[in-house]
């Protein structure tokens, strides 16, 4: 609570007083007493004021340009009004209040005016502290406003305290709607305007537009006979009309782990990027939804992952669109499922612990106070946590740090036996009257203590080495203890949960992910397990998607359009159920289009001249003398790109055999382009039978 | 550029910045004027004690550090005063005796206390207004992307009653210090303990007793006003601290068994 400024001041006062009293000197003593009394009074006043801070409340209102809103839109700018209210008459210290801005949004105007999310002053019952700032939403998801962080200080900057006023508000961020004027699915050729949601299809039907003429077949209704043409050709000719049917579109959006994995990360807390394939898929789904809404096509939505699927039946209208967008934003808010347990959580723990501790120290400073969550010095300096749950090889320093406890135990046991063995030998010598034990007795009297001393010295040396080299490990142990205590209390594991989490990396890793997920904080995870397997491959989702597609086919009418937004790259061995389901859909005269998210940073397969046959050896060799590291990463990137292109080619081949288009979805490709392709495919009206 | 020219440039830059801040914020100007007045009083008091040219040293240090907005300015002034008054304590000039014999404080002592306190408080408040309010050791965190260490106290928040309270506090704490001094002088040391040592022990024990009482009261107040989460965490921590070795051994075996099972049946 004391700042360095106060420490120096206190030191000067104490020195002045001590010298004044002992010397003795009246002015010095008086000066020292005056300054110390004033300092003590300031401290007391600060403590009294601090007790009133717990009664502070936060009110927040988010507005757009016109009125308060309960729903946010991706990419839009909003204004947050925050009030800090006080209920009791006690005064507060000087407060610097910083609103905890959700990770899904970004405060505007941080460059020139860095105090937009900050307010300061005193809070009283009559005058609440009020401030406003603007923020811009990122991608779809949920914006979680945790509350307000208070930095409390006196006017001199001597005393300091941090407090967090919790006021959790979660606002859904709905996906952005494309601003493009939506194209009509059918061009108006005559004055005849089709009813909303109805499209012409170039296949025989009962519409009003002429499609073709053919010879009369027995059973054709007489009213379809083209009499003039029949007279001219001297045989009966029947008119065929276009089919006019409502086209219903069902979007199948992949929400499995493989599309929730972050693609890239930035540096620093606020610059953290969380680009994931799911954002792109949701953006496209929202664009398609809007385009269909514009021509009043019924649109359905089905979200699926590795376990289950849920959806909304095709329909139209504002309420239906809102429900779809909410479902999409809920899906976007989901983080990757907890990293697979049982595969060694240590790798994940190294990345999760700093993020989780940073978040906890910002949002829960009261739960990390030494008074309620202490870290005994012996746990960091003398003990280390075990390596049993770690599945990887440890370095020498890491091993030493983790085995300190065992090392110390060995020393104690060696001391015990070096004391006990001479006593036992002495007793045996006198009990059995064996003079031949004399030599052993004498040597044990010397060798035992010497060996013990050597062991203690070696241990002390190793402890010294660890003390010098292990400051990061000590910090990690401190973080781990505090986070284990917090998570154990938060998730109801107390009283034994703390000790369990200190020893078990897997359990702690899972709880840390849950904690970060709850607070909507992005975090990095290792993509591969300790055994070298890709941790987020989800072949189970193919079966779930196939079942959902079959259900939709069973419930569907004619001419349905099924848009599959799913990551199927490198899952070509598990595609059989989906291919069967697609075959069933096509046999019922439905259309299927597949959009596959393409990894960020890789060239599109279409841009590659020799997509998959080009070998690495044919590529120009990197100059190893210039930059070895760069060449290594370049090689890695090329190999990854090549692997993905091969996978894409196999996927395209598998679906092309059935006449299903497979399109890549990249970060750079705009939604309108994809919509155009969709429109072209929809408007073709090509029968698949 | 020579060293002297460089130092001149630095001083001129600091002076220009200080004058600019004074012109911009009346609150800063008021506090700076109070500091300067206090330093002048300090100079008068020290000159009155016959310290001659040495009496210019603490005010000069105060002026320079105030101009440069240096956070260690009050500490340096206090240390220089300690050295000056401590070393010259045994001298007897102009009828004053500042050594063992002086037991009655004069009005100049009171003025000295008021001046030093006014300067120290004023300087620290100027620093809060012009440099930073929150400590520099604060970690740079913040979801809003704003570094809280860079936050200064807004000059608009300085109310007029703050100055009045400031002036009153100077008189109150100096007078209280005088009262405390006279209380200290009343008693006689037992068991032939030397007078200065007895007073020193009295002050130390009284301070420790007050500190302990205040600390215990504050922690008790904090415990009584703790939230359920804090209380649960406190209890959990107590249990863990008392049984952590036994729990650690048990959980280590459990973790080991899990790892072993996983290796056997991957």
Interface test with B, best of A26, A46, A80 (most B CBs within 10 A): A26
pLDDT at B193: 78
Chain A positions in Cβ-Cβ contact with residue B162 (cut-off 8 Å): 155
Q: What is the pLDDT of residues A630-665, one digit of tens each?
A: 566 667 777 777 888 888 888 888 888 888 888 887
The DSSP secondary-structure symbol of A63 reads E
Of all residues in chain A, the one with the smallest CA distance to B237 is A373
| Residues in Cβ contact with A344 at an 8 Å cutoff, skipping those fewer than 6 apart | A389, A390, A391, A392, A505, A506, A529, A530
Contacts of A466 (CB under 8 A, 6+ apart): A397, A400, A401, A404, A473
- CB contact, 8 Å: A348 with chain B? no
Instruction: Name chain B contacts of A29, Cβ cutoff 8 Å.
Output: 181
Residue A361 shares a structural domain with residue A221 = no
Smallest CA–CA distance from A30 into chain B, residue: B177
Number of H helices, E strands in chain A: 18, 17
**Partner-chain residue, chosen from B135, B139, B154, that has the shortest CB–CB distance to A5:** B135
CA A274 to chain B, closest CA, distance in angstroms equals 15
Task: Give the 3-state secondary structure of residue A133.
Answer: strand
Whether residue A460 is found in the same domain as residue A401 = yes
Q: Please name the residue of chain A whose CA is at the shortest distance from the CA of residue B70.
A: A5
Find chain B residues with C-beta within 8 A of A54's C-beta: 225
Shortest Cα–Cα distance, A8 to chain B (Å): 6
- Print the domain residue range for A169: 53-174
CA distance B183 to chain A (A): 12
Asked if A269 reaches chain B (Cβ–Cβ under 8 Å), the answer is: yes
Query: Is residue A232 domain-shared with residue A322, that is, in the same domain?
Result: no
Q: Is A547 in the same domain as A679?
A: yes
Domain presence at residue A487: yes
List phi, psi (to 5°) of A141: 155, -140
Chains A, B: CB contacts within 8 A come to 285
- Tell me which residues of chain B have a pLDDT lower than 50: 90, 92-100
Q: Is the CB of B78 less than 8 angstroms away from the CB of A35? A: yes
Min distance B3 CA to chain A CA atoms (Å): 30
Q: How far is B130 from chain A (nearest CA, A)?
A: 12
Interface-testing mutation among A3, A4, A9, A25, with chain B (most B C-beta atoms within 10 A): A25
Nearest neighbour of A28 by CB, restricted to B86, B150, B243: B86
Domain-embedded: residue A226 = yes
- The phi, psi pair for A552, rounded to 5°, reads -65, -40
CA atoms within 13 A on the CB side of A208: 9
3-class SS at B62?
Answer: helix
Domain for residue A376, yes or no?
yes
Any chain A CB within 8 A of the CB of B6?
no
For residue A44, which residues of chain B lie inside 8 Å, CB to CB? 214
Residues A43 and A130 occupy one common structural domain: no
Structure confidence at residue A346 (pLDDT): 65
B143 contacts A100? CB cut-off 8 A: yes
Q: Are residues A298 and A283 in the same domain?
A: yes
Structure tokens at A239: 């008119």
**CA–CA separation, A127 vs B157, rounded Å?**
13
**Nearest-CA distance from A567 to chain B in Å?**
28
Instruction: Confirm or reject contact between A7 and chain B (CB < 8 A).
Output: no
Tell me: do A311 and A432 sit in the same domain.
no
User: Is residue B159 situated within a structural domain?
Assistant: yes
> What is the C-alpha separation between B213 and A119, in angstroms, rounded?
35
Instruction: Give the contacts of A419 (CB within 8 A, at least 6 positions apart).
Output: A448
Residues of chain A with pLDDT under 50: 112-115, 181-191, 265-272, 607-622, 624-625, 685-689
Query: Which chain A residue is nearest to residue B79, measuring alpha carbons?
Result: A12
What residues of chain B lie within 8 A of the CB of A153, using their CB?
128, 133-134
- Same domain for A378 and A484: yes
**Where do the DSSP E strands lie in A50-93?**
57-63, 72-73, 77-85
Inspect the interface and report whether the beta carbons of A499 and B240 lie closer than 8 Å: yes
If one counts the domains in chain A, the total is: 5
**Quick check: is A654 in a domain?**
yes
Is residue A20 within 8 angstroms of chain B, CB to CB? yes
Sign (positive or negative) of CA dihedral A182, A186, A190, A194: negative
Phi, psi angles (nearest 5°) of residue B214: -65, -40
B162 lies in a domain? Answer: yes
Q: Are B65 and B72 in contact (CB under 8 A)?
A: yes
Crossing angle for the helix pair A346-363 and A471-490, to the nearest 10 degrees: 70
* Residues A435, A421: Cα–Cα separation, whole Å: 17
Q: B252, A503: Cβ pair inside 8 Å? A: yes
- Interface residue B50 vs chain A (CB under 8 A): no
Please name every residue paired with A312 in a beta bridge, in sequence order, or none if there are none: A301
Q: How many CB atoms lie within 10 A of CB A438?
A: 11
Q: Is B39 inside any structural domain?
A: yes
Regarding whether A106 and A30 lie in a shared domain, the answer is: no
Contact status of A334 with chain B (Cβ, < 8 Å): no
- Chain A residues touching B124 at Cβ < 8 A: 5, 9, 155-158
Interface list for A 527-586 with B (CB within 8 A): 531
Q: Which chain B residues are Cβ-neighbours of A152 within 8 angstroms?
A: none
Q: Domain containing B19: what range?
A: 1-136+146-186
Say if residue A228 is in the same domain as residue A254: no
Q: How far apart are CA B92 and CA B105, in angstroms?
A: 15
Determine, for residues B89 and A25 on separate chains, whether the beta-carbon distance falls below 8 Å: yes
One domain for residues A39 and A120: no
Domain of residue A311, CATH code: 3.40.50.410
Residue A101 belongs to a domain? yes
CB B176 within 8 A of CB B185: no
A191 falls within a domain: no
Domain assignment present for residue A183? The answer is no
Q: Which of A518, A549, A564 is the last residue of a domain?
A: A518
Residue to substitute from B47, B127, B140, B145, interface A, most A β-carbons within 10 A: B145
Residues 279-318 of A with CB under 8 A from B: none
Q: How many structural domains is chain B composed of?
A: 1
The answer to whether position A179 is within a domain reads: no
- Stretch 114-143 of chain A: residues touching chain B, C-beta under 8 Å: 114-118, 120-122
The confidence score (pLDDT) of residue A622 equals 47
DSSP letter string, A213-265: EEE--TT--GGGB-HHHHHHHTS-EEEEEEEEEEPEEEEEEE-SHHHHSB---
Number of helices followed by number of strands (H, E) in chain B: 8, 2
Instruction: Look at residues A51, A70, A87 and tell me which one is the last residue of a structural domain.
Output: A51
State whether residue B265 sits within 8 Å of chain A by CB.
no
Q: Is residue B6 part of a domain?
A: yes
Q: Are A645 and A594 contained in the same domain?
A: yes
* Chain A residue with Cα closest to B107: A27
Contact list, A19 vs chain B (CB under 8 Å): 82, 86
């Amino acid at each position: 609570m004391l700042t360095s400024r106060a420490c120096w001041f206190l030191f000067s006062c104490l020195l002045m007083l001590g010298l004044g009293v002992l010397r003795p000197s009246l002015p010095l003593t008086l000066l020292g007493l005056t300054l110390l009394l004033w300092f003590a009074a300031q401290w007391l006043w600060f403590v009294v004021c601090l007790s009133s801070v717990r009664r502070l409340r936060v009110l927040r209102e988010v507005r757009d340009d016109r009125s308060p809103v309960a729903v946010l839109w991706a990419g839009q700018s909003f204004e947050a009004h925050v009030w800090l209210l006080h209920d009791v008459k006690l005064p507060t210290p000087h407060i610097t209040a910083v609103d905890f801005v959700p990770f899904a949004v970004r405060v505007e105007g941080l460059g020139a005016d860095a105090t937009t999310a900050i307010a300061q002053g005193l809070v009283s019952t009559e005058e609440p502290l009020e401030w406003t700032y603007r923020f811009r939403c990122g991608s779809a998801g949920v914006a979680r406003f945790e509350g307000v962080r208070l930095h409390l200080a006196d006017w001199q900057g001597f005393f300091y305290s941090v407090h967090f006023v919790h006021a959790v508000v979660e606002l859904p961020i709905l996906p952005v709607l494309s601003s493009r004027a939506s194209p009509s699915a059918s061009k108006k050729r005559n004055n005849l305007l089709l009813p909303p949601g109805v499209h012409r299809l170039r296949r025989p039907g009962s519409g009003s537009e002429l499609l073709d003429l053919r010879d009369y077949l027995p059973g054709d209704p007489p009213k379809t006979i083209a009499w003039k043409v029949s007279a001219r050709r001297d045989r009966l000719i029947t008119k065929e009309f276009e089919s006019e049917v409502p086209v219903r579109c069902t979007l199948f959006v992949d929400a499995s782990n493989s599309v929730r994995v972050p693609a890239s990360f930035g540096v620093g807390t606020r610059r953290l990027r969380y680009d994931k394939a799911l954002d792109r898929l949701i953006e496209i789904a929202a664009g398609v939804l809007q385009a269909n809404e514009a021509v009043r096509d019924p649109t359905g939505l089905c979200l699926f992952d590795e376990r289950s699927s849920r959806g909304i039946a095709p329909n139209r209208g504002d309420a239906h669109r809102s429900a779809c967008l909410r479902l999409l934003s809920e899906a976007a808010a989901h983080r990757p499922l907890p990293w697979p347990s049982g595969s060694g959580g240590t790798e994940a723990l190294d990345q999760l612990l700093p993020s989780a501790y940073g978040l906890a120290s910002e949002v829960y400073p009261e739960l990390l106070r030494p008074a309620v969550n202490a870290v005994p010095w012996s746990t960091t300096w003398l003990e280390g946590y075990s390596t049993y749950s770690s599945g990887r090889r440890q370095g020498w320093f890491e091993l030493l740090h983790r085995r300190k406890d065992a090392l110390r135990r060995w020393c104690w046991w060696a001391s015990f036996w070096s004391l006990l063995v001479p006593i036992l030998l002495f007793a045996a010598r006198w009990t059995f009257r064996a003079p031949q034990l004399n030599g052993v007795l004498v040597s044990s009297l010397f060798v035992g203590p010497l060996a013990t001393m050597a062991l203690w010295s070696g241990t002390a040396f190793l402890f010294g080495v660890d003390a010098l080299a292990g400051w990061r490990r000590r910090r990690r142990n401190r973080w781990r203890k505090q986070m284990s205590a917090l998570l154990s209390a938060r998730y109801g594991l107390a009283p034994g949960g703390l000790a369990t989490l200190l020893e078990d990396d897997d359990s702690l890793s899972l709880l840390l992910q849950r904690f970060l997920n709850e607070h909507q904080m992005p975090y990095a995870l290792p993509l591969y397990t300790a055994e070298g397997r890709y941790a987020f491959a989800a072949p189970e989702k193919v079966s779930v998607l196939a079942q959902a597609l079959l259900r939709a086919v069973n419930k569907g009418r004619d001419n349905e359009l099924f848009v599959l937004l799913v990551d199927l790259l490198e899952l070509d061995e598990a595609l059989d159920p989906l291919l069967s389901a697609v075959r069933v859909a096509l046999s019922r005269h439905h259309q299927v289009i597949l959009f596959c998210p393409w990894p960020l940073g890789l060239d599109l397969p279409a841009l590659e001249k020799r997509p998959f046959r080009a070998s690495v050896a044919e590529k120009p060799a990197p100059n190893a003398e210039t930059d070895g590291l760069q060449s290594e990463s370049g090689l890695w990137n090329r190999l990854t790109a090549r692997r993905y292109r091969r996978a894409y080619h196999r996927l395209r081949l598998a679906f092309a055999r059935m006449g299903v288009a497979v399109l890549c979805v990249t970060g750079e490709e705009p939604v309108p382009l994809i919509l155009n392709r969709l429109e072209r495919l929809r408007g073709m009206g090509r029968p698949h039978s | 550029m020579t060293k002297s020219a460089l130092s001149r440039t630095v001083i001129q830059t600091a002076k220009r910045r200080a004058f600019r801040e004074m012109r911009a914020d009346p609150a800063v100007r008021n506090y700076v004027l109070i500091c300067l007045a206090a330093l002048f009083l300090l100079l008068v008091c020290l000159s009155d004690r016959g310290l001659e040219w040495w009496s210019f040293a603490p005010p000069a240090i105060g002026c320079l550090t105030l101009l440069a907005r240096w956070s260690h300015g009050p500490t340096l002034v206090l240390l220089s005063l300690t050295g000056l008054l401590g070393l010259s304590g045994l001298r007897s000039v102009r009828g004053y005796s500042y050594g063992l014999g002086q037991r009655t404080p004069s009005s100049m002592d009171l003025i000295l206390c008021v001046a030093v306190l006014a300067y120290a408080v004023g300087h620290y408040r100027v620093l809060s207004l012009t440099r930073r309010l929150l400590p520099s050791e604060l970690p740079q965190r913040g979801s809003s992307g704003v570094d809280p260490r860079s936050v200064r106290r807004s000059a608009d928040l300085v109310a007029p009653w703050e100055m009045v309270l400031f002036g009153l506090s100077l008189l109150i704490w100096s007078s209280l210090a005088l009262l405390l001094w006279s209380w200290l002088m009343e008693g006689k040391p037992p068991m032939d303990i030397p007078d200065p040592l007895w007073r020193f022990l009295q002050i130390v024990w009284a301070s420790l007793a007050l500190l302990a009482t205040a600390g215990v009261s504050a922690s008790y107040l904090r415990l009584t006003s703790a939230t359920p989460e804090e209380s649960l965490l406190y209890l959990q921590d107590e249990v863990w601290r008392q049984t952590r070795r036994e729990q650690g051994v048990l959980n280590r075996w459990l973790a080991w068994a899990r790892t072993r099972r996983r290796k056997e049946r991957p």
